[in-house]
């Protein structure tokens, strides 16, 4: 089996909030780079990369350039291909655009493998569970008014979600008292039995994280995420030591090695792995196994339609972030029922690019 060609596109999707009908926030669009790898015998694998931002055209170009290097290679030799690409771009890496580009290619290769074997990605990775918990993300963000949150949270519960994420480190003129009040009111709105998660997005200093983190301990957050700079492992460890609430982190880490340093520093209690930044499915599974050896649970970041396979496949998989940013790329995505996602059984990723998304292609 041989790779015949790789084609990629930049797709600029409008950013909306469909889970509880919130207004657009943060930015108006997200730019994804989508790719197709075609084999000489007509099998097509698809992949997606993200985080290019203003450099999305550059990310596309990186995928095209790396793609040229693997024409003629056997797509089933995934580790051989990703190693070849890491070596080819080594001096431009290890993180950043190089890793984002390889992640999309790695994904498409796994999609091809699944289609060749007639197995879903989850099945290929071990098929541990056929459904996984998922949490609503993006619907209770700091940009929204408290009034909106108090209406949106019960709506998510009506939709069957048992886990949902909000944010603190409020914009504008905030105080610890304002942060605590908002946390308490959101907890009251969802009741004691919902897993309420909270993202700080690296906006607190270490002392602030300890101070406000202690004040909100009786809110019983399921986790506090990225409480300070994502790579301040010793700072994170001080916060983790000071609080009962578990800390989650890892979405900003590129490749596998930084996870070793984060775990060795006891910086977080829950490992969050981003499929694009870690370098694709192959690397994602390596980090998940590393976390397992340290008795740490793993959660996903973005791309729930692909992460559902990965979280289902590992014994330490905790929950899938149900963040809808990428949904318009695909014909059909897994839909939560009673707070769970059923792992798709179709071969490979089980996804098809949407024809409707053609109108969002920019290059
Ligand atoms: Mg986050």
Distance 201 CA to ligand 1 centre (A): 6
C-alpha of residue 64 to centroid of ligand 1, in Å: 29
Rounded to the nearest angstrom, the distance between the alpha carbon of 159 and the centre of ligand 1 is 22
pLDDT tens figures, 50-102: 999 999 999 999 999 999 999 999 999 999 999 999 999 999 999 999 999 99
CA of 343 to the centre of ligand 1 (A): 23
**Per-residue confidence band for 295, with pLDDT thresholds at 50, 70 and 90:** very high
**Per-residue pLDDT at 18:** 93
CA of 249 to the centre of ligand 1 (A): 8
Distance 284 CA to ligand 1 centre (A): 17
pLDDT digits (tens, 9 = 90+) for 326-337: 999 999 999 999
Question: Which of 176, 158, 174, 156 is closest to 166 using CA atoms?
Answer: 156
* Span from the CA of 26 to the centroid of ligand 1 (angstroms): 14
Q: Supply the pLDDT for residue 194.
A: 98
pLDDT at 342: 97
25-29, 182-186, 353-357: least confidently modelled range: 25-29
Distance 73 CA to ligand 1 centre (A): 36
Ligand 1 centroid to 199 CA: how many Å?
6
How far does residue 79's CA lie from ligand 1's centre (Å)?
29
Cα-to-centroid distance, 105 and ligand 1 (Å):
24
Q: Is the pLDDT of residue 127 over 90?
A: no
> Going from the N-terminus, what domains does the chain have, and what CATH number goes with each?
3-118+355-360 (3.30.390.10), 122-342 (3.20.20.120)
Q: How far is the CA of 240 from the centre of ligand 1 (A)?
A: 17
| Rounded distance from Cα 222 to ligand 1 centre (Å) | 14
Strand order in the sheet with 44-49: 3-14, 29-39, 44-49
| Predicted pLDDT of residue 333 | 97
Strand partners, 79: none
Ligand 1 centre to CA of 37 (Å) is 30
* pLDDT reading at 113 higher than 80: yes
Q: Is the pLDDT of residue 17 over 80?
A: yes
CA of 134 to the centre of ligand 1 (A): 15
Indicate the pTM of the whole model: 0.98
In this prediction, residue 24 has a pLDDT band, given cuts at 50, 70 and 90, of confident
Quick check: 23 pLDDT over 90? Answer: no
> Would you say 319 and 132 are in contact if contact means Cβ atoms under 8 Å apart?
yes
How far away, in angstroms, is 272 Cα from ligand 1 center?
8
Q: What percent of the chain has a predicted confidence (pLDDT) above 90?
A: 97
> What is the pLDDT averaged over residues 283-289?
98
pLDDT for position 281:
98
For residue 352, report the distance from its CA to the centre of ligand 1, in Å: 27
- Going from the Cα of 321 to the center of ligand 1, the distance in angstroms, rounded, reads 10
Residue 314 Cα to ligand 1 middle (Å): 21
- What pLDDT, on the 0 to 100 scale, is given for residue 26? 74
Q: What span, in angstroms and rounded, lies between the C-alpha atoms of 303 and 283?
A: 16
Distance 354 CA to ligand 1 centre (A): 27
Ligand 1 midpoint to CA 67 (Å)? 30
Q: Of 59-63, 295-299, 356-360, which gets the smallest average pLDDT?
A: 356-360
Three-state secondary structure call for residue 240? helix
pLDDT over 80 (residue 118): yes
Tell me what pLDDT residue 54 has: 95
Q: Which long-range contacts (C-beta less than 8 Å, at least 24 apart) are formed by 87-93? A: 89/62, 93/255
Report the DSSP pairing between strands 270-274 and 298-301: parallel
Predicted pLDDT at 344: 95
Q: How far is the CA of 104 from the centre of ligand 1 (A)?
A: 21
Question: 317 C-alpha vs ligand 1 centroid, how far in Å?
Answer: 17
In this prediction, residues 12-41 reach a mean pLDDT of: 93
pLDDT tops 80 at residue 258: yes
- What letters, b where the CB count within 10 A reaches 16 and e where it falls short, cover 3-13? beebebbbbbb
Instruction: Taking residues 163-185, report their average pLDDT.
Output: 97
- State how far the alpha carbon of 168 is from the alpha carbons of 107, 165, 192, 334, in Å: 33, 10, 19, 29
Q: How far is the CA of 103 from the centre of ligand 1 (A)?
A: 19
Cα 251 to ligand 1 centre (Å)? 6
């Amino acid at each position: 089996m041989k790779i015949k060609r790789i084609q990629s596109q930049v797709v600029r999707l409008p950013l909306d909030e469909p889970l509880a009908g919130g207004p657009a926030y943060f930015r108006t669009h997200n730019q994804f780079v989508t790719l197709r790898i075609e084999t000489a015998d007509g099998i097509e694998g698809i992949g997606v990369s993200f985080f290019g931002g203003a450099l999305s055209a550059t990310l596309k170009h990186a995928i095209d350039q790396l793609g040229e290097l693997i024409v003629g290679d056997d797509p089933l030799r995934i580790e051989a291909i990703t190693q070849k690409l890491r070596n080819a771009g080594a001096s431009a890496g290890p993180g950043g655009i190089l890793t984002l580009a390889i992640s999309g290619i790695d994904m498409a290769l796994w999609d091809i493998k699944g289609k060749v074997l007639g197995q879903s990605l989850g099945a290929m990775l071990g098929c541990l569970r056929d459904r996984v918990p998922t949490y609503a993300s993006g619907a209770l963000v700091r940009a929204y008014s408290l009034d909106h949150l108090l209406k949106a949270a019960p709506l998510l519960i009506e939709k069957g979600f048992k886990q949902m994420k909000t944010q603190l480190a409020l914009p504008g003129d905030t105080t610890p008292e304002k942060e605590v009040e908002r946390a308490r009111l959101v907890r009251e709105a969802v009741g004691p039995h919902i897993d309420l998660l909270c993202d700080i997005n690296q906006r607190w200093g270490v002392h602030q994280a300890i101070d406000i983190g202690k004040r909100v301990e009786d809110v019983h957050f399921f986790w506090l995420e990225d409480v300070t700079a994502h790579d301040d492992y010793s700072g994170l460890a001080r916060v983790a030591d000071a609080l009962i609430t578990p800390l989650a982190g890892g979405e900003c880490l590129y490749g596998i090695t930084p996870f070793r340093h984060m775990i060795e520093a006891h910086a977080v209690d829950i490992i969050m792995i981003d499929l694009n930044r870690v370098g694709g499915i192959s690397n994602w599974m390596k980090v998940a196994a590393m976390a397992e050896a340290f008795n740490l649970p793993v959660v996903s970041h973005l791309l729930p339609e692909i992460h559902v396979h990965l979280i289902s496949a590992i014994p330490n998989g905790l929950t899938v972030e149900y963040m809808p940013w990428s949904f318009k790329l695909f014909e059909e995505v897994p839909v939560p029922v009673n707070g769970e996602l059923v792992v798709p059984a179709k071969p490979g990723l089980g996804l098809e690019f949407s024809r409707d998304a053609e109108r969002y292609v920019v290059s």
